[in-house]
Structure 1
């Protein structure tokens, strides 16, 4: 590999960025990619185990694509908010190094309250690989455990933050699986009858992939394989290794709403835990229900109850009390269970006060001089998108003031105060662009709600806010906020999900360049699963590999969109250091 000076790297990276073909994460030419990868290697402490080293790519000419190892994605230097000095590597000091998980969506596939029959209208209603979500998440934990630290600073990870939609349908059994995946222990990813599968994937319906059958369903027409023993293997007991790094939880809409879209007022609890599962409905009813889910949650709840009563093929399943939905208070309390402490901290961000109040937002130390703030952007009125209530917005500003030695008031005037000037990283499930749900919270109907623009405006008043890290969109996207005033700028870092391809997590490193700037390195990682698959291998390793490949081939998925561009992948984000 040719040697590059750091000055050559800055020049070469700029040229490479200009040559990016923003489709599928590819560079304009192999030579350009090779130069960028070589330059990246000279700056990194290590690249092994990350997408700097290699990344899954599709191969084959048929409808169903196999995956194989492809060349890694090089570092893209983004100077949207600050210039990059050529000597910054020589003076760099690591300030924080951590990992973001997001949108794990651990799915109870046998739950009666699911909308698999709407997949043709809502791509998230059913995924052919969803029986493998728990094993896929455990494989992601394996990957993080194998990494010694950040690829550019070498600093060990101080924490892993899961930014919401950790469960798919906010069921207690899904929450138990999530807590065990993160802390380690034995898991049986199966509900109802422990000795058999009772979901749509052995229904004989053409709407779903029937993996163990030779029946030619819609998915097999797209090249999906027949895999003997798939369902029994997917639901079998296994031991999750658990993280070796302290971890925290941020709440998402799928953690507090029915399928992440409908308000949970306790009206469907008996359906969740009952013995009737709707496996399909006619096109007219499906279209009506899909529209109601998008536009009228109350109507959707009523229509779902009617369909379960007399609307289509209903399967009798084994009732299971563990499918009961959990409340925000119960969500916090479950994190306090000593059996789920793992590497800590106790409660994983939630306290006994959170368990008593149901307030799922908190602040915590990430490292010396860096404060984390986890927000609850969910709106229990329904719909997938989020917002903030006034009480939480006021709490956030109070925390920011406490940890800032100067800020700007709403008129743009500089204000001095506060007892410290810690750097701040904000975590939430929703992005700035997906916080437009201003419906009144039914549990706090007289409290005003605030959108993403209001949150951006607040964060820009506090110069020590350096990043807002989030999920929800299942897409890699990095956005610069505050181009006009460097003192009031920050980066919004959105990472793709771990249920839809490309199934990414992200390492984020914060470093002081010693020249008045900060660098935020963002490096994507895949799970520890191998790229090649064997349809005859239903071991844990074989299923983890199949999880990734099936997600790429989901006919309702949009992997090219969710992948993002090279400027949303492995990046160095420059930012002016806040003055103290």
Structure 2
């Protein structure tokens, strides 16, 4: 056991207080022998609005709230690569336009010393500071929603994914993988929490938000809206632009080798059972959670009327689709004015579908309230990072305790003014500056949805029209001035990329909607030689790499979800990143 990391993560009680009353506090029983894991249960830390207030003693729970105690954490286990991409990765088999998947070789770990030199013997000296999981860009999708932008597939084939109907079973299979791992592959320390870094939903729909929260906390999900007896989406439309799995139609995707699968749509709309994560989990908002299609800040009731109505646009002329796509890329239509005009112009081409009030868009306040709802508490913490103080102030950023030595910060990088790129407002930036100062003697890990280069959106927040917006470059400069920041962990790009900054590492993780459908384990250790190491290890869902077209069970569909995503027309082949963006050891100088 000389090479096994010695965990010194101390159990941390969580507390979240509001400006009116304290929210339920959870405590963690110490592990046997004093070796434990951080529970990451939302210890109140932040000094300003939007974060819970620090408390020197345990706060009292809200009246009527259930007092819950987390179970004692498991002791550190022997490090193992089992169940991770160190061991095996889904890889294509055969040839042709459509390829099946099988077990491929694992991805090796790369040591990166751009910020500090690796010293010999550090594996025997390590002390574990944190061990957790990042999930990002789940994009749980209501594929029958009337206001989806799949109608642009005529001009942009990647405007619609053939596997989107299976997003819920795919997410649940990822949760099953996390539950099965339980320990970090390098240190053996228990995984103490999971963080989702945004785009948890696809189209800002209440029903998608409920699916996400139920998947994470545990329960039964019915990924079906409208008329539960009949599928009413593009995959039975008769339009050749979309894959029709149950039809003999020679659609564009079947011409590329996509199979005919009788019973697929019925199976895809069937109830899904999620075990929920068996560890505390936290939530960060993304642009698809906050904006229609992740891009449009519609005003008034128009969006809700279309979303909950009975008319669905399925296709438009290719030239028009290309024009709309380019406008979206440039950010020319952040408030959706042109999109409204397009929908009105094509009203006579729309399909009649069954209205469903659950498809209505959710507001930021509704997003917060849903996280705080008791039925979505799961293993905790209540609110999953968000507190009553966030709800009262209308803020979506917070701090939480990762371990005795490490603080987490979750940012809101979406721009309510519209467009899919991000930024932060001045109030949040000032809060962040104060928070970094308050915790300058601790290690800090920052989470957001957008990565730094994707934060260049200067559209003003309609609710705060006089407030300036601030870019990712400004955040990089701020973090470099605060060497307590060790890592900025994010998503949005759907691509694995790890970038050394002056004093910290920016870690961007691929999505779980586009192949290779990954999440990332992060383990932080003190090498006790003047350096720290961040170990990053990618994981796939628990579904087998090989598919069986006769198996339309929940597990079989999760495997099919991966295979279809690999074969999605016009998919990017660069999303896995380079080897040094995948499984890594990232060295840092210890600065305190």
* Partner secondary structure for residue 399 of structure 2: strand
Give the whole-Å Cα distance in 2 for the aligned partners of 1:539 and 1:58: 22
Determine the C-alpha separation between the residues in 2 that align with 1:125 and 1:355: 34
Helix, strand or coil: the match of 2:433? helix
Deviates most, 116-125 or 106-115: 116-125
Conservation of the 8 A alpha-carbon contact between 2:214 and 2:376: yes
Q: How does 1:383-398 map to 2 (within 5 A)?
A: 383-398=419-434
The whole-number CA distance in structure 1 between the counterparts of 2:550 and 2:177 is 24
Residue 241 of structure 2 corresponds to which residue in structure 1? Answer: 207
Change (3 A) 1:339 1:506: same
SS in structure 2 of the partner of residue 501 of structure 1: coil
Verify the 8 A CA contact 1:278 1:308 in the aligned structure 2. Answer: no
Picking from 297, 304, 311, the partner of 1:269 is: 304
Cα deviation, 1:129-152, whole Å, max 9, x if unaligned, reads 000000100000000000031000
Partner of 1:469: 489
Give the Cα–Cα distance (whole angstroms) in 2 for the partners of residues 357 and 172 of structure 1: 21
Match of 2:73?
none
What is the aligned partner in structure 2 of residue 280 from structure 1? 315
SS in 1 for 2:159: coil
Residues 65 and 403 (structure 1), Cα distance of their counterparts in 2 relative to 1, 3 Å cut: same
State the 1:97 CA deviation. 0.2
Distance 2:208 2:370 in 1: 12
> Does 2:93 align with 1:79?
no
Does the aligned pair in 2 maintain the 1:289–1:304 contact within 8 Å? no
Which secondary structure state, in structure 2, belongs to the residue aligned with residue 522 of structure 1?
strand
Paired residues for 1:47-446 under 5 Å: 47-119=81-153, 121-122=155-156, 125-266=159-300, 267-294=302-329, 295-297=331-333, 300-308=336-344, 310=346, 313-404=349-440, 421-446=441-466
Instruction: Give the C-alpha shift of residue 313 in structure 1.
Output: 2.9
Query: Structure 1: which 5+ runs fail to align?
Result: 7-43, 405-420, 483-488
Tell me if the contact between 1:289 and 1:300 (Cα under 8 Å) persists in the aligned partners.
Answer: no
- 1:526: which partner in 2? 540
* Count, aligned residues: 516
Q: How far does residue 306 in structure 1 lie from its aligned partner after superposition?
A: 3.9
1:549 and 2:583 matched:
no
Distance in 2 (alpha carbons) for counterparts of 1:311 and 1:475 = 37
3-state SS in 1 of match to 2:195: strand
Mapping 1:497-576, distance limit 5 Å:
497-558=511-572, 560-576=573-589
Between the aligned partners of 1:119 and 1:574, the Cα distance in structure 2 is 44
For residues 159 and 219 of structure 2, what CA distance do their matches in structure 1 show? Answer: 29
Distance 2:269 2:340 in 1: 27
Q: 1:309 Cα deviation (Å)?
A: 5.0
Q: 1:330 and 1:547, CA in 2 relative to 1: closer, same or farther beyond 3 A?
A: same
Q: For the structure 1 residues 503 and 379, does the alpha-carbon distance in structure 2 shift closer, same or farther, using more than 3 Å as the test?
A: same
**Paired residues of 2:154 and 2:318 also in contact (CA < 8 A):** no
How far apart are the structure 1 equivalents of 2:272 and 2:480?
46
Write out per-residue CA displacement over residues 344-396 of structure 1, whole angstroms, 9 at most, x where no aligned residue. Answer: 00000111122233210000001111000000000011111001111000000
Unaligned 5+ segments in structure 2 are 5-77
> Per-residue deviation at 1:443?
1.6
Tell me the distance in 1 between the aligned counterparts of 2:291 and 2:155. Answer: 19
Q: Which moved more, 1:428-437 or 1:349-358?
A: 349-358
Checking the alignment, whether the CA contact within 8 Å between 2:155 and 2:320 is kept in structure 1 is no
Question: Equivalents in 2 of 1:229, 1:304: separation in Å?
Answer: 36
CA distance in 2, matches of 1:128, 1:304: 26
Map of 2:7 onto structure 1? none
Q: TM-score, normalised by structure 1?
A: 0.87
The residue matched to 1:56 in structure 2 has which SS? strand
- Asked if 2 retains the 8 angstrom alpha-carbon contact of 1:263 and 1:297, the reply is no
Deviation for aligned residue 1:312: 6.1
Q: Distance in 2 between matches of 1:107 and 1:519?
A: 37
Q: How far off is 1:310 after superposition?
A: 3.1
TM-score by length of 2: 0.85
Question: 2:383 is paired with a residue of what secondary structure?
Answer: helix
Offset of 1:123 from its aligned partner?
Answer: 5.8
Alpha-carbon distance, 1:302 to partner:
3.7
Shift of 1:303: 3.6
Cα separation, 2, equivalents of 1:507 and 1:222: 35
State how far apart, in whole Å, the 1-side matches of 2:253 and 2:341 are. Answer: 28
Distance in 1 between residues matched to 2:151 and 2:360, nearest whole Å: 22
Change (3 A) 1:505 1:312: farther
What is the Cα-based RMSD across aligned positions, in Å? 1.6
Q: Matched residue of 1:364: which SS?
A: strand
Residue-by-residue CA offset, 1:254-304 (whole Å, 9 max, x unaligned): 000010011132431100000000011112322232233233225744444
The match for 1:447 is 467
After superposition, the Cα gap between the structure-2 partners of 1:122 and 1:149, relative to the gap in structure 1 and judged at 3 Å, is farther
Distance 2:373 2:341 in 1: 34
| Structure 2 CA distance for aligned equivalents of residues 121 and 499 of structure 1 | 21
Counterpart contact for 2:520–2:536, Cα < 8 Å: yes
Q: Distance in 2 between the 1:195 and 1:308 partners?
A: 29
- Cα offsets for 1:29-80 (capped at 9, x unmatched): xxxxxxxxxxxxxxx8200000011000011111101000011111100001
For 1:273 and 1:357, locate their aligned partners in 2 and report how far apart those are by CA, in whole Å: 29
